Amino acid sequence: MTDGVYKDFATTQIHAGSAPDPATGARQVPIYQTTAYVFRDADHAAALFGLQEVGYIYSRLTNPTIGALQARLAALEGGAGAVCCSSGHAAQIMALFPLMGPGKNIVASTRLYGGTITQFTQTFKRFGWSAKLIDTEDLAAVKGAIDENTRAIFCETIANPGGYISDLDALAKIADEAGIPLIVDNTTATPYLCRPIEHGATLVVHSLTKYMTGNGTVTGGAIIDSGKFDWSASDKFPSLSAPEPAYQGLNFHETFGPAAFTFHGIAIGLRDLGMTMNPQGAHYTLMGIETLSLRMEKHVANAQKIAAWLETHPAVKSVTYPGLASSPYKDRAVRITPKGPGALFTVQLKGGYDACMKFVAALKLFSHVANLGDARSLVIHSASTTHRQLTDEQQIAAGAAPDVVRLSIGIEGTEDLIADLDQALNAAG
Ligand SMILES: *Cc1c(COP(=O)(O)O)cnc(C)c1O
């Protein structure tokens, strides 16, 4: 496998991690549908288990198809290494697992995917972890929320559902000053629109379920490590910087340097949490990524056109797309997502909650689903679905108020999409 990094994103998305198969010459990455791998001999087996040699042991840990995807993701994000896992939510737990412990907390943006807010505020408690949700527009509040037990700042590049753009550079500076990593969920931007590591992020997490695969066929996740964080600069991250009791006292940072987080993710994270991706899913995601740049260009062009059209419709109160001149995040979008601010935004209807429900019901070409980043256009009323578990205040803070509908603009023709939106808006009254 090559982990080649090319000058052009379009080359990297096809070639990184996918040299011809060494066993057969197969040009496309084969699906290695195997649980285990035969050791050359007893010494080989011992060296693999001791991490003295890198190789394949068991597919809960490593698999060649998944390895190809990991190499490609690391190259696309400009990271030192990547670990794939079973979903975007698994990626969040896997990213935090080496950093956290009972009594530790993270400072997270209020503007997050609804399921992430639930994971952070409810399920975290079972581990003795906690999350302080802070409006990241208030940088002083972010700074003020960090205490001696804070182990990371967490945000989304383009926050689902409202299309809010996080000021990654400003948040990275605060994280740096506090000696903690910035973790960025880059699901809705993809590395084509934004590479968070270039803005100072330590770790990037993905739901590969969305644009990366791009067609609504796979549930998957990934963590990409920049390799730039000094885990040994303080005693805050003993799993990485001190003897790790879960791996015979191995010091991961000392032994693996910039690859410490990635090795820990495989040797401890996947080994003990078991949130492993399957090889077939990795293959589909590799296929999807081959056309990522082309798809994102079309997603963005469609979203820009449709958002501008919606803004002029008499039934519409407001549109949150950061590519519109009316967006308060227009300038930030140019800085953080120079190739376009994604294809996800919300539409506020003058008719309120009832009009939203009628609008969703009347759409024919848009599919009413709890997903985003599909080739086809999607719609959902976040307040009654994905953000249903949140309080009214949390819904509003997350950009999912009852009078807004979220659109994920696909790569169909805009004429057909606009015709569908127009008939549904008229039906909603
Ligand atoms: C969907 C999504 C997730 C969760 O990913 P799954 O693959 O569904 O577990 C996390 N963050 C964002 C921004 C998402 O859109």
Confidence of residue 398 (pLDDT cuts 50, 70, 90): confident
Q: For ligand 1, pick from 89, 112, 276, 406 the residue to mutate: most ligand atoms within 8 Å of CB.
A: 89
Residue range 57-71, pLDDT digits in tens? 999 999 999 999 999
**CATH, residue 95:** 3.40.640.10
Q: From 288, 313, 333, give the residue that closes a domain.
A: 288
Q: From 263, 288, 313, give the residue that closes a domain.
A: 288
Task: Assess whether pLDDT exceeds 60 at residue 135.
Answer: yes
Average pLDDT score over the chain? 95
Q: Which residues line ligand 1 (CB under 6 A)?
A: 87-89, 113, 115-116, 156, 160, 185, 187-188, 207, 209-210, 219, 221, 372
Positive or negative torsion for Cα 123, 126, 129, 134: positive
Distance CA 344, CA 386 (A): 15
Q: Which domain holds residue 318?
A: 292-428
Distance CA 301, CA 308 (A): 11
**CATH, residue 330:** 3.90.1150.10
Alpha-carbon distance values, 298 to 208, 305, 370, 390, 412 (Å): 19, 11, 22, 33, 9
The pairing of beta strand 203-207 with beta strand 105-109: unpaired
Ligand 1 nearest atom to the CA of residue 220, by list position: 7
Q: For ligand 1, pick from 164, 185, 210 the residue to mutate: most ligand atoms within 8 Å of CB.
A: 210
Task: Please report whether residue 138 resides in a domain.
Answer: no
* CA nearest ligand 1 atom 11, residue: 113
Q: For ligand 1, pick from 164, 207, 344 the residue to mutate: most ligand atoms within 8 Å of CB.
A: 207
Task: Please report whether residue 127 resides in a domain.
Answer: no
Task: Assess whether pLDDT exceeds 60 at residue 38.
Answer: yes
Does residue 351 share a domain with residue 214? no
Report the number of distinct structural domains present in the chain: 2
Task: Assess whether pLDDT exceeds 90 at residue 399.
Answer: no
Confidence of residue 51 (pLDDT cuts 50, 70, 90): confident
Does residue 45 share a domain with residue 193? yes
Task: Assess whether pLDDT exceeds 90 at residue 185.
Answer: yes
Residue range 287-298, pLDDT digits in tens? 999 999 999 999
